[in-house]
């Protein structure tokens, strides 16, 4: 594991990885021309990264591990499918990407299932590649269904983004996360193609003022998740305000159902991964075991920061659910991590007997204590990036902040 601090384990793993690189070189006979030259350079850099990791400490070691992980994925990309079947994968944690192992298992830090890095951890870039605009006939009207379109386009050439340009994530190619500026009215919509690069959707706004749309996308070009962000026209733009110093609230109730959030740690801090769970109780007080399937899971979570820019798109732990008749409950485990401190309005989405519920919670992420050794911050890649308009988001770990991008995608 390229996250260990043990010298002996480092030597053992380094030797094992050196053998894998040697096998990669042996299989390079299946790569030709200029691709062969670029592959040789990648393998040379990969060997150097392993050496730096073995001799490096803390930040230097983490940086070398992250670099080796990227180079490993890059090298595999040069091989044809037949060769890949002969090459060993590396596995890493979606929340702690500086860790790598040579076999599947669970992350020793947070317990999440490890994922093969050349499938789930492509490189990120500092800029978004897809922009977004809202097409509307007029401003939103409270309580009246709005019929809208979102236009998606590539930022480098202005060309429209078709469904073939996007990969599927959680059963859909486009997820729209919609919130009013006061972060009290949340909607999750899936638009349908309407024209070249345009996708139609509708929702009923329950509050006046500005609504913002985060389009959660996975471009085929990058294989990395990003947010494309745009505001919906309003007749009273930005007149509403977030409630100042809103009290933390980890409980909600709808139609007699009770929703309770709990975390392994009482105090959540920035850049710290915390295991949490949502517990659902029936109106009669018994545990609710009727959670249905929503987009391949038994629930979803979206949190909006108090800057109206940062967004966290979180998913429950566990594999994709393909049986639409499956039921679960009463608890839904997930992991929470934000790279910034402040208040977050977190909305859960669960389906009970065919009805969707969106309980709202208020969480506070405190400042990281001086000297805390949190997971290393990875360099920006396109997978977490988004399009930026009107001060939009950006982020890491399913998170977007005010730069307008979001980090690596988990699949």
In this predicted structure, the answer to whether residue 387 has a pLDDT above a threshold of 50 is no
Average of per-residue pLDDT values in the chain: 77
- Predicted local confidence at residue 89, as pLDDT: 59
What whole-number distance in Å separates Cα of residue 289 and Cα of residue 233?
A: 41
Tell me which of 49 and 341 has the higher pLDDT.
Answer: 341
pLDDT of residue 220: 86
Domain 251-396 has CATH 2.60.40.10: no
Give the tens place of pLDDT for each residue, 283-304.
Answer: 999 999 999 999 888 999 999 9
Beta strands in 290-341 (DSSP E): 300-305, 311-314, 331-336
What is the pTM assigned to this prediction? Answer: 0.64
The count of residues in the chain is 411
Q: What is the mean pLDDT of residues 360-379?
A: 66
The residue with greater pLDDT, 133 or 369, is 133
Domains 130-232 and 251-396 share a fold: yes
Residue 359 has what pLDDT? Answer: 96
Q: Is the per-residue pLDDT at 405 higher than 50? A: no
For residue 27, the model assigns a pLDDT of 58
Which residue's structure tokens are 């980090």? Answer: 407
Fold classified for 130-232: Immunoglobulin-like (2.60.40)
Domains in the chain: boundaries: 7-120, 130-232, 251-396
* Digit-coded pLDDT (tens) for 190-218: 999 999 999 999 999 998 888 999 999 98
Q: What is the pLDDT of residues 250-278, one digit of tens each?
A: 999 999 999 999 998 888 888 788 889 99
Residue 32 pLDDT: 60
Question: Is the N-terminal amide bond of 330 cis, ω within 30° of 0?
Answer: yes
More confident residue, 160 or 393: 160
Residue 181 and residue 309: Cα distance in Å, rounded?
Answer: 10
Range with the poorest average pLDDT among 285-299, 355-369, 390-404: 390-404
pLDDT value for 110? 66
The pLDDT, as a whole number, for residue 70 is 83
For residue 223, the model assigns a pLDDT of 72
Structure tokens at 223: 């294989």
pLDDT at 171 over 50: yes
> What is the per-residue burial (b if ≥16 Cβ within 10 Å, else e) of 313-347?
bbbbeeeebeeeeeebbbbbebbbbbbbbebbbbb
pLDDT: which is higher, 360 or 121: 360
Residue 104 has pLDDT above 70, yes or no: yes
Residue 409 binned pLDDT confidence (cut-offs 50, 70, 90): very low
Residue 113 has pLDDT above 60, yes or no: yes
Q: Which of 90, 337, 132, 338 is nearest to 217 (CA)?
A: 132
Going by pLDDT thresholds of 50, 70 and 90, the confidence category of residue 57 is low
Does the structure show a pLDDT above 50 at 86? no
Average pLDDT over residues 218-240: 79
pLDDT at 284: 95
């Amino acid at each position: 594991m390229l996250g260990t601090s043990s010298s002996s384990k480092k030597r053992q793993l380094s030797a094992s990885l050196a053998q894998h690189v040697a096998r990669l070189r042996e299989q390079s006979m299946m790569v030709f021309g200029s691709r062969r030259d670029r592959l040789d350079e990648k393998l040379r850099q990969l060997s150097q990264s392993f050496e730096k990791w073995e001799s490096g400490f803390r930040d230097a070691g983490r940086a070398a591990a992250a670099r080796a992980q990227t180079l490993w994925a890059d090298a595999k990309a040069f091989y044809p499918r037949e060769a890949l079947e002969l090459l060993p994968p590396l596995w890493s944690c979606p929340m702690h990407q500086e860790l790598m192992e040579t076999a599947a298992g669970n992350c020793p830090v947070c317990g999440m299932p490890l994922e093969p890095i050349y499938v789930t951890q492509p490189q990120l870039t500092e800029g978004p590649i897809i922009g977004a605009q809202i097409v509307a006939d007029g401003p939103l009207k409270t309580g009246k269904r709005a019929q809208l379109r979102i236009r998606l386009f590539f930022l480098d050439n202005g060309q429209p983004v078709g469904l073939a340009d996007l990969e599927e994530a959680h059963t859909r190619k486009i997820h729209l996360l919609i919130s009013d500026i006061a972060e009290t009215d949340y909607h999750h919509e899936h638009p349908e193609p309407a024209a070249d690069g345009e996708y139609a959707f509708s929702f009923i706004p329950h509050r006046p003022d500005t609504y913002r749309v985060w389009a959660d996308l996975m471009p085929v070009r990058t294989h990395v998740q990003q947010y494309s962000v745009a505001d919906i026209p309003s007749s009273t733009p930005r007149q509403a305000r977030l409630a100042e110093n809103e009290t933390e609230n980890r409980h909600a109730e709808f139609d007699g159902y009770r929703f309770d959030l709990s975390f392994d740690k009482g105090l959540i801090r920035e850049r710290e991964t915390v295991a949490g769970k949502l517990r659902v109780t029936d109106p009669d007080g018994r545990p609710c075991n009727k959670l249905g399937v929503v987009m391949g899971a038994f629930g979803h979570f979206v949190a909006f920061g108090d800057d109206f820019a940062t967004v966290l798109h979180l998913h429950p732990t566990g594999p994709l659910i393909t049986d639409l008749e499956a039921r679960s409950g009463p608890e839904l485990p997930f992991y929470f991590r934000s790279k910034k401190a402040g208040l977050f309005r977190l909305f859960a989405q669960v389906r009970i007997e065919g009805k969707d519920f969106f309980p709202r919670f208020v969480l506070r992420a405190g400042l990281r204590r001086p000297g805390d050794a949190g997971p290393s911050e990875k360099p920006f890649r396109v997978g977490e990036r988004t399009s930026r308009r009107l001060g939009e988001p950006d982020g890491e770990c399913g998170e977007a902040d005010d730069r307008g991008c979001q980090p690596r995608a988990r699949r």
